[in-house]
Structure 1
């Protein structure tokens, strides 16, 4: 069954309908004047009405700008396009425009049977170290420059890769290198040789999307390369909480486009295009749950492209760094409520968040039990588990509870991170309001740049 019903969506009128209308319709004619030169009252009235109508239309046309100083009524070009274009043909043309620029991404990792990870390649080299296909994804070529072609994809598509390959639309496999990646926005840029690549995708403006608008997802779902799916924009702006460290603690929020076009494993990193063949988003994720269908998400182009530009220029996204490992006060209260023995008062390393990021391996040091002294009305904030860098230099310490940044209330690690990344820059001064041993204090510090791991 086709997606569109031709009879319903077509703007053409069938010849049969025209002939039927001509047979049933009635012609209105003024006829000829009588031989004696006289006109009937009916004919005079009809002629007078016609002249009056023409005059009224002419005056109105002049007033709205057919010629003169009146204002011209603007027509939404998107609406006009939808009304006059054949939906079936537009989808075909849009797909043909972008498909040659869509590639499949192969993430290769060290053979698990050898007990080696990607880091071991640095020590042993590629020789003698087997690689296997770990995952598949998609990407889109968006730029060609100086003999290189650049591809946008998702960070999770190339995460932990020992080697990355790009498969062109013609089936050719090329070695790819990672220019830069960012786990927070889940974006990455790859580089391949541009020889023989003639098509580069055009980036569109996701700000112009409207709910109900037709869009298409192109990619490599389930290893089926060069696949297209189609649907509508379900919601132009949807906020999705994400756990960057995959520990079940939501420490970031991603603003995405919600679509009902089918998104499956392998579609990640591929383009979401409009019916003009422009990339308006990067397919990123879907809701994978029993009984859930048609709920997919894409990173809007307006958010993706500034990140891509930073990755192209610096190989990373530079962000301000406070230097605190934290735990949400809300989580602490929940633990206290459910605590059954003294052992639960400690924290594992994976519970630590550094400016909202996973703390990593840690040094194995056991934290002393958290015993907070807070006013009864303080229920929201973040607990400092360890201070490093700028925070340590400013005097922040274990068990401090941060409640404000620059007088902006902070109730969670997510809010702390969002404030830093949205409102501050590296080198900016920031005021930290906190409680220490029940006493309210204020510290000033200068935000730094986080060093590479």
Structure 2
């Protein structure tokens, strides 16, 4: 016997048909009720039908009806699924690849090997030249029969001749329009005949971490190569050594990516999936156990430099006129001297630490550095030689600069960053320094370095 008397609540299903009213085309299932109400099965069937109608109504309101048409309204998700997302990478690459070139840096055999150059009287003006470096570049502008290429400064540095290899394999002579070692950017010029594709420069400020990007270039001499990865970080500051002497004297703003950047990729474009150049591939971390750490100069940072190179052949920056050494390095040298047995081996070599803000040295041998400073002065910039504006203002050997205007200066890097970011050619600047243990202040007018 069921726990409930009413069969509607019971788990037991009645198998016996109680009555049939065929003449009225109606059927009665289950136990007849004296009050003329519906049977349990009819109630269940009706409930199921109502639920089905409700579901159809809700679906119709959500997706939409088309007035009886055999074609229903397509949901948004279905529209997205109709395209191939991988096709975007192919289209982006096809858009830029014809504008990407390989760069060949040629130097004299004598400078590379220490031997004699080509034979005198040779009819071939490049007979004494040899390929010294390979890199990449991207054509970004065409004007008055000339095509202009962005690349890295280190790709064409010290070149006697530069060649650009187009995507179709044609080799053309290139001339250097301008170079900038600090930002590691350069602009080249070639004949524009037959060049139809120019890369479009995009907005690097719109990059986001995790966004897909592609690097195009000439890695290991394998021209017209693509690598793909994501943006690891949109804004990274990397310390670099401009003199390649292990002393960090500048900081470069870069985009960090995990797309493969190999030797020869330098100067090539970093593009987004719209086929726009958002960076110039510049460097990678090359160390044991390190993979997928590459860097590109952001396009928004690079283009003002490129425009200056196009107009002036250089980047005009304010010029103080000092060769310098960081005071911190001096203290480190002094500490090492105390523990050395041989005074000659530990003697400070100023040339090993010589840095400048664009000044030119005259090759004069410098006297030993002997500083008289308060004990609490541990950071600053030692003047090893003053020329130009600094010399005119009275700066001298062994002066220790500690402030520019009211900004504390602890290193040559900070001195450069303040000058280049905060000052202009012709601006007045206040220099706070220590000389013979006494604090002094000088004023000078920043100049512009004349090219050699």
Residue 349 of structure 1, aligned match among 348, 351, 370: 351
Match of 1:450 in 2: 449
Residue 349 of structure 1 deviates from its aligned partner by 2.4
Residue 91 of structure 1, aligned match among 74, 84, 89: 89
Matches within 5 A, 1:64-103: 86-103=84-101
Distance 1:325 1:233, change over 3 A: same
Residue 198 of structure 1, aligned match among 181, 196, 199: 196
Q: TM-score, normalising length from structure 2?
A: 0.79
Match of 1:434 in 2: 433
User: d(CA) in 2 for partners of 1:227 and 1:248?
Assistant: 32
Whether 2:223 is the aligned partner of 1:221: answer no
Match of 2:402 in 1: 403
User: d(CA) in 2 for partners of 1:392 and 1:110?
Assistant: 37
Matches within 5 A, 1:270-309: 270-309=268-307
User: d(CA) in 2 for partners of 1:268 and 1:383?
Assistant: 35
Residue 272 of structure 1 deviates from its aligned partner by 0.2
User: d(CA) in 1 for partners of 2:126 and 2:104?
Assistant: 20
Deviations along 1:169-192, one digit per CA (max 9) or x if unpaired, are 000000000000100000000000
Deviations along 1:218-276, one digit per CA (max 9) or x if unpaired, are 00001100000000011111111111111110100101111110110000000000000
Distance 1:437 1:152, change over 3 A: same
Distance 1:447 1:126, change over 3 A: farther
CA RMSD after TM alignment: 3.0
User: d(CA) in 2 for partners of 1:294 and 1:318?
Assistant: 35
Q: Is the 8 A contact 1:349 1:364 kept in 2?
A: no
Match of 1:27 in 2: none
Q: TM-score, normalising length from structure 1?
A: 0.79
Residue 314 of structure 1, aligned match among 312, 320, 330: 312
Distance 1:114 1:349, change over 3 A: closer
User: d(CA) in 1 for partners of 2:303 and 2:126?
Assistant: 39
Q: Is the 8 A contact 1:156 1:183 kept in 2?
A: yes
User: d(CA) in 2 for partners of 1:278 and 1:451?
Assistant: 36
Residue 210 of structure 1 deviates from its aligned partner by 0.6
Deviations along 1:120-152, one digit per CA (max 9) or x if unpaired, are 99x999738511111110000000000000000
Match of 1:383 in 2: 382
Residue 364 of structure 1 deviates from its aligned partner by 4.3
Aligned residues: 384
Say which is worse superposed, 169-178 or 373-382, in terms of deviation: 373-382
Q: Is the 8 A contact 1:352 1:358 kept in 2?
A: no
Q: Could you say what secondary structure the match of 2:194 adopts? A: coil
Deviations along 1:374-416, one digit per CA (max 9) or x if unpaired, are 1111111011111110001111111111111111000000000
Deviations along 1:419-449, one digit per CA (max 9) or x if unpaired, are 0001101000101111111111111100000
Distance 1:429 1:175, change over 3 A: same
Q: Could you say what secondary structure the match of 2:86 adopts? A: helix
Q: Is the 8 A contact 1:221 1:263 kept in 2?
A: yes
Q: Could you say what secondary structure the match of 1:330 adopts? A: helix
Q: Could you say what secondary structure the match of 1:294 adopts? A: coil
Match of 1:28 in 2: none
Matches within 5 A, 1:69-218: 86-112=84-110, 115=115, 127=125, 129-218=127-216
Q: Could you say what secondary structure the match of 2:92 adopts? A: helix
Residue 116 of structure 1 deviates from its aligned partner by 5.5
Gaps of at least 5 residues in structure 1 are 1-39, 56-80
User: d(CA) in 2 for partners of 1:280 and 1:265?
Assistant: 20
User: d(CA) in 2 for partners of 1:150 and 1:440?
Assistant: 51
User: d(CA) in 1 for partners of 2:84 and 2:143?
Assistant: 36
Q: Could you say what secondary structure the match of 1:449 adopts? A: coil
Q: Could you say what secondary structure the match of 1:371 adopts? A: coil
Q: Is the 8 A contact 1:251 1:414 kept in 2?
A: yes
Gaps of at least 5 residues in structure 2 are 1-45, 63-78
Q: Is the 8 A contact 1:350 1:358 kept in 2?
A: no
Residue 342 of structure 1 deviates from its aligned partner by 4.5
Match of 1:21 in 2: none
Residue 346 of structure 1 deviates from its aligned partner by 3.7
Q: Is the 8 A contact 1:245 1:358 kept in 2?
A: no
Q: Is the 8 A contact 2:322 2:359 kept in 1?
A: no
User: d(CA) in 1 for partners of 2:378 and 2:212?
Assistant: 45
Residue 351 of structure 1 deviates from its aligned partner by 2.1
Distance 1:294 1:322, change over 3 A: same
Bigger helix fraction: 1
User: d(CA) in 2 for partners of 1:115 and 1:282?
Assistant: 35
Match of 2:391 in 1: 392
Q: Is the 8 A contact 2:177 2:188 kept in 1?
A: yes
Matches within 5 A, 1:20-31: none
Match of 1:422 in 2: 421
User: d(CA) in 1 for partners of 2:329 and 2:147?
Assistant: 46
